[in-house]
Amino acid sequence: MSVKLSDYKLVRNFLSEKGIDSILYGSLGVSVYLGEFREFDDIDLLVEDEFMDKKWDYLKELMKNKGFEILDEKEHEFVNNNGVKVAFAGRSVLVEDNICDPNTDRVSKNIGGIEVSTLKPECFIKAYTFSSTDGYRIQKRGDSDLNIVRMLKEQI
């Protein structure tokens, strides 16, 4: 099943109600700039690092209460009955990988009436350029990361 920005909105809203601030990342985040350039497998969300360790149990419980079960705990992935997948990562990964600063490189966009909190396109360019050198991603995704970089560069 593919996910849409409307699925993101639902997840973002219930997280926000519980005081969890999230940033849309991954290919669905890129869709803010490129539109629906393909089908999206999951909703990648960046959250405060504490939700990846000391507040992980709280996040798991919250997701469970909203109908999501753990798909892959190591990857912090959840799925619900409708096949909507959500994957979480700590924001510090952007700083550690020298991608960007999620505090200063964050933007809000209104896409079709949906308020989206995401990153500047330059951050996605850096992230997808970085991931295009990862052996596992190259084997799994071929040159699709570099195609996303190319399309983003054409947009900005």
For residues 55 and 67, what is the distance between their CA atoms, to the nearest angstrom? 19
- The DSSP secondary-structure symbol of 75 reads T
Q: Using alpha carbons only, what angle is made at residue 100 by residues 19 and 25, rounded to the nearest 5 degrees?
A: 55
The pLDDT of residue 93 is 93
Residue 136 pLDDT grade (very low, low, confident, very high; cuts 50, 70, 90): very low
The pLDDT of residue 110 is 97
């849409």: which residue's tokens?
Answer: 4
For residues 47 and 24, what is the distance between their CA atoms, to the nearest angstrom? 9
Q: Which domains does the chain have, with CATH numbers?
A: 5-119 (3.30.460.40)
Q: Which amino acid is at 115?
A: E
Which residues have CB under 8 Å from 41's CB, separation 6+?
2, 3, 27, 85
The pLDDT of residue 155 is 85
Residue 31: alpha-carbon gap to chain centroid: 11
What is the mean pLDDT of the segment spanning 113-137? 85
The pLDDT of residue 126 is 94
- Residue 62 scores a pLDDT above 60: yes
The pLDDT of residue 140 is 54
At 9-40, the pLDDT tens digits run: 999 999 999 999 999 999 999 999 999 999 99
- Residue 86 scores a pLDDT above 90: yes
At 34-46, the pLDDT tens digits run: 999 999 999 999 9
The pLDDT of residue 58 is 97
Residue 113 backbone phi and psi in degrees, to 5: 85, 0
For residues 18 and 101, what is the distance between their CA atoms, to the nearest angstrom? 24
- Residue 135 scores a pLDDT above 60: no
User: What DSSP element (H or E) covers 48?
Assistant: none
The pLDDT of residue 146 is 83
Residue 27 backbone phi and psi in degrees, to 5: -65, -30
Comparing CA positions, the residue from 131, 113, 107, 122 lying closest to residue 155 is 122
The pLDDT of residue 141 is 54
Comparing CA positions, the residue from 4, 8, 62 lying closest to residue 35 is 4
